[in-house]
Amino acid sequence: MGQKLRIAGWISVGVFAGALTTVSLQTVARSAMSPLPLEELQQLAAVFGMVKTDYVEPVDDKKLITDAISGMVASLDPHSQYFDKKTFKEFREGTSGRFVGVGIEITQEDGLIKVVSPIEGSPAFRAGIKTNDLITKIDETAVKGLALNDAVKRMRGEPGTKVTLTMFRKDESRTFPVTITREEIRTQSVRGKVVEPGYAWLRLSQFQDRTVDDFVAKIDEIYKQEPNLKGLVLDLRNDPGGLLDSAVAVSAAFLPADVTVVTTNGQLAESKSTYKASPEFYVRRSGPDPLRSLPAAIKTVPIVVLVNEGSASASEIVAGALQDHKRATIMGSQTFGKGSVQTVRPLGPDTGLKITTARYYTPSGKSIQATGIVPDVMVDETLEGNLFAALRTREADLEKHLNSGQGEEKKDEAREKAREEARKRLEAETEARKTPPRPPEFGTDKDFQLAQALNRLKGQPVVASKTLTVERKDEKKEN
C-alpha cells in the first residue's frame, strides 16, 4: 500500500499550451524485456555512420543521438516526449506553478501572441501590458508563425535578465516596445468570490502544487463572507490540468469519503490503480489532510461545474467524478479529451522520458481519452451561440492521438458541420475586416455561461445551446 501511495503522490495530469502533462517521477525496473531487434539496430548504427561521414557538414554526435531519441518518442503520441536538460527544467516549473519570466498568460491569435492577462504584481503588470495586447516581436524575433511553446521559451530566462517585447495595442492603433526584467513568477491558480447573496464562483485555472491549499483558503474565505451558501459554481473552463493528487483532493472536498474518483489502466502493474476520495490518495509525504478545515456544508452545497473545449486532464477527472457520483451538474461544452497518463522516468540528473503508460477512466468506467466529458446541459459561450469554439483543437484532432480503448472512434458529424460553419463565418468577417466577437472574461457580470449556471442553481430557466445536444441521454431518463 505504501508503494502505491508514493506513486499516487507524484502522478500528475495536464495540457500545457494546447496539451499538457501527466507525470510520475518514479523509476520502474522490469526484470523481463523482449530481445532487441538486432537487424534494425544495425540499420540505426549504419545511418548514424553515414550521417557522420556523408552529410554536407559535421554533425555533433550528442545532437544526433538526442534527435533520434526525440523522434522515436514523438512518433508514439502527442504527449510522450524526451526531456533534455532545458525542457526537463521547464517541465518541472510548469507543475510547480513557479517560473522565471515576465508574468503574462498568453494565447495565439492570427499568428501573433495575444495577452490573455498579465499576472498581478508581475514585471509585465508593472510595465503596463494589458489584456488583448498583441506581441509582434520578442527581442529581434518576429512571432508571426512562431509556435506558442517557442514564444514562451523566448520570454523565459534567468532572473535579472532583460527581454524586449514589441507590442501592438489594437484600441490605440499603435506599436511600442517594452523592455522587461525577468523575475520569478508564482502563478495563482485559484480565484473566487461571492457573486451575489447566497451564491459563489470558484475558478481553478490549473492544478499545481499549491492549488489545494489555495482552494481551501478560498472556500474558507467564501464561507466567512457568506455562511449560508446556497450554491457554488466551480469553473474549470480552459483549465489544462496539472497534478493528479490535486485533482483527487478537489474532488474529495465535495464527494463522500472513500468513493472512487478515477481509475487508470495500462501494461504495467502500477498503471492499474484506483484513486479514492480519501486522504491517503492525495496527502503528500504523510502530511496533514489539507481538507480538514473545510466547512462540513461543502459536502452538500449544490454545485454546477463549468467546462469547455479547453478543460483537460485533471479538470476532466474532477468533472467526471462529480458527474458520475451525481454530485454536480456539468454545464458548458464537451471537454478536450486528454485522458492518458504520462510517466516521467529520469534518465539522469537533468534528463528524462515522459511516456504514456495508462488511460484514465471515470468512476463509472468511461474512458476520458479522445472523448472527454459530455456536459449534462450544453450551454453556448454567449446568447448568440458558440462563436468560434468549434475551431478549437481537441485531443481527437491531434495527429497520432491515443484512442479511447473502448471501441472504434466515430467522426463527430455535428462538430465537423459546426467547424465548417465557424470557418466560413470567420472568413467572412476577416474579409469584411470586422473584428470577430469574443467571449467576455470569466467571472464577470457579462459571463453568459456563469449566468446560466447561477440560473440552474436557483431553479430558474437555463438558456441551453442552440446547436448542441441539450441534455445527456441518461439524465433525460431520470427526469
Neighbours of 34 (CB within 10 A): 5
- CA atoms in the 13 A half-sphere facing the CB of 25: 12
- For cell 532572473, the residue is 159
Give yes or no: 324 in active site.
yes
The catalytic position among 80, 189, 313, 404 is 313
**In the numeric block, which cell numbers belong to residue 31?**
526484470
Among the listed residues 476, 465, 467, the one whose alpha carbon sits nearest the alpha carbon of residue 379: 465
The catalytic position among 114, 137, 276, 338 is 338
Q: Which residues contact 41 (CB under 8 A, 6 or more apart)?
A: none
- For cell 454545485, the residue is 303
Beta strand pairing call for 104-109 and 98-101: unpaired
Q: How far is CA 418 from CA 43, 391, 392, 421, 460, in A?
A: 47, 8, 11, 5, 28
The catalytic position among 214, 235, 239, 324 is 324
CA dihedral of residues 10, 235, 326, 405 (deg, nearest 10): -50
* Active-site residue list: 313, 324, 338
